[in-house]
Amino acid sequence: MITTNKVLAFVSVLSLSQIASGEDWLQFRGNDHRGISLKSETPTNLSKNNIAWKIPLPGRGLSSPIVIGNRVFLTASSTADQSRLHVICANKDNGEIEWERQFWATGRTICHEKTCVAAPTPVSDGKNIYALYSSNDLICLDLDGNLKWIRGLMQDYPNASNSLGLASSPIIVDGTLIVQIENDSDSFVSGINLKDGSNIWKLARTKKANWTSPIRLNDKEVAIQGSEGITCVSAKSGTVQWSFNEGASTIPSSVTSADSAILYVPSNGITAIKPRKDNNTPEIVWQESQLRPGTSSPIIVGDNIYIINRAGVLNAAKKDTGERLWRLRLEGPFSGSPVSSNGHIYVASERKGVFQSIDINGKEGMLRGSIELGETILGTPAIANNSIFIRSDGHLWKISNPK
């Protein structure tokens, strides 16, 4: 006879295996910030039939969803002054809200009308989620919504704010939460203790507004992008390892090659740099001024780098040389960044939320399909378990192949 304990144990194992077998999407542009899902068989010939579900959201947001096991987590901000912060957990399969937590913004909520307080994407280590807002509230919850810790970074550092809004998404490297709070006044990047939210280190940065996100270079190091260029720091200690000082964009973020050997920086168009083992100034592998990204961050898929410029044109170039290959005008403009799986690039336009799939397998890029979601979309999609998750200010969609 099977005892209750054995049944519970079986259910637990089943539950864990469900979580473990999934391909999670743990942060802005995926687990390695490259915007790629290698395993997912996402839909390509898009139509309304691919909308698996759509759920209303309690507030605005530019943040991407993140996916852990069978749950999707998302932040939002609401009320007239954007002072109500939300963390939402929805069931990945059916979109049902499992839990929601609300908080009061403890820092200033002013931002440009296009953006909002829920601009940074949350990050997870698979155990907890860490949600940062433009008000500089940093909140850690476990996957069941239990509060683990809170930081009011603007309470601690009253001038750490940007009147246009902050947008940098935190990341986790070497067991440290990296937050980049760069603005014209009190600018810094900090390594935060995952357990209690305390500062492990805090590094002063150039007083200049910056909306880029930190990038994981390898298991130990992080690239911090700013107007002066790239600074590589040790995630654990905050010690500066090397710098690239030829300037960089303050909106689109860099991307690394699959082996993390090359960093593609939005600087004078795109500059591909190769860090040196002795930590001297990185080698410039190539530089192409015609590859100038707009708001979207670049993406590397296979042998190519793809960039969407201000005019909404997708540019493909060889990642090893910067040689330009083809251009394809998309239905833009774009604020979110492209992601990729199944041999396609996915991106949603601001106006009307036209979600587009571009086939990048051939000699030229080809628009394979699109769905007009009918709402302004400013965020970057997430991909997990053969599905794409994308949000507007009003809704979260799951897009997948019909069962």
Partner 1 sequence: MISLVTAHYYIPMKSLFVLITLAINYLPLLANQTSTSIETILAIGPEGKGNSRASKAWEELINQPDQKTLMSIFGAMNEAGPVASNWLRSAAEVVFKNLQEDQKTSINTLGEYFLDKKNSSRARRFAFELIKRNDPEVAAEIIPGLLNDPSPELRRDAISLLIKKGKSLEEEGKKNSAILIYRQALNSAIEANQVKPLSESLKRLGAKVDLPKHFGFLMRWHSIGPFDNTNRNGFEKVYPPENEINLESEYEGKSQAARWKQIESYDPFGKIDFNKPLGLLKESVAYAYTEFESISSRTAELRLGCKNAWKIWVNGDFIFGRDEYHRGQKIDQYKMNIQLKKGKNTILVKACQNEQTEEWTVQWEFQLRICDESGVAILASNREATPVKDQSERRSRRPKKS
Closest approach, Cβ 128 to partner 1, in A, equals 11
Q: Is the dihedral of CA 390, 396, 399, 400 positive or negative?
A: positive
Phi/psi of residue 156, nearest 5 degrees: -75, -35
Query: Which residue among 8, 97, 147, 311 contacts partner 1 (CB under 8 A)?
Result: 147
For the chain, state the CA radius of gyration. 20
Tokens of 394: 């009003």
* Helical (H) or strand (E) element with 339: strand 339-341
The residue (of 111 and 285) whose beta carbon lies closer to partner 1 is 111
Tell me whether residue 52 or residue 153 sits nearer to partner 1 (CB atom): 153
In the complex with partner 1, which residue's Cβ is closer, 151 or 205? 151
What is the full DSSP assignment across 41-70? Answer: ----S--GGGEEEEEE-SSB--PPPEEETT
Q: Which is nearer to partner 1, 38 or 147 (CB)?
A: 147
CA atoms within 13 A on the CB side of 269: 15
Instruction: Tell me: does residue 143 bind partner 1 (CB under 8 A).
Output: no
**Which residues ranging from 152 to 181 are in contact with partner 1 (CB under 8 A)?**
152, 155-156, 158-159, 162-164
Q: Return the H-helix or E-strand segment holding 19.
A: helix 4-21
Amino acid identity at 132: L
Strands 255-256, 147-152: pairing is unpaired
114 binds partner 1, rule: CB under 8 A: no
Nearer to partner 1, 152 or 247 (CB): 152
**Residue among 32, 54, 93, 110 that touches partner 1 (CB under 8 A):** 110
Interface residue with partner 1, options 41, 96, 196, 323 (CB under 8 A): 196
Nearest by Cα to 259 from 312, 208, 228, 300: 300
Task: For residue 196, count CB atoms less than 10 angstroms from its CB and return exposed for 0-12, middle for 13-18, buried for 19 or more.
Answer: exposed
Secondary structure percentages of the chain, helix, strand, coil, to 5: 5, 40, 50
Burial of residue 14 (number of CB atoms within 10 Å: 0-12, 13-18, 19+): exposed
Site string for partner 1, 89-108 (x = CB under 8 A): ------------xxxx-x-x
- Residue of 137, 182, 359, 393 interacting with partner 1 (CB under 8 A): 137
- The H or E element spanning position 201 is strand 199-204
What is the nearest approach in angstroms of partner 1 to the Cβ of residue 400? Answer: 31
Interface of this chain with partner 1, residues 57 to 96, rule: CB under 8 A: 79-81
Q: How far is the CB of 166 from partner 1 (least distance, A)?
A: 11
* 136 lies in the site for partner 1, by CB under 8 A: no
Nearer to partner 1, 33 or 151 (CB): 151
Q: Which is nearer to partner 1, 112 or 329 (CB)?
A: 112
Q: Cβ of residue 78: shortest distance to partner 1, in angstroms?
A: 11
Among 94, 185, 279, 290, binds partner 1 (CB under 8 A): 185
Angle at 268 between CA 262 and CA 272, to 5 degrees: 10
Out of 2, 5, 198, 363, point to the residue binding partner 1 (CB under 8 A): 198
- List binders of partner 1 among 277-336 (CB under 8 A): none
DSSP, res 238: -
The residues that touch partner 1, with contacts defined as CB under 8 A, are 79-81, 101-104, 106, 108, 110-112, 137, 139, 145-152, 155-156, 158-159, 162-164, 183-185, 192-193, 195-199, 207, 209
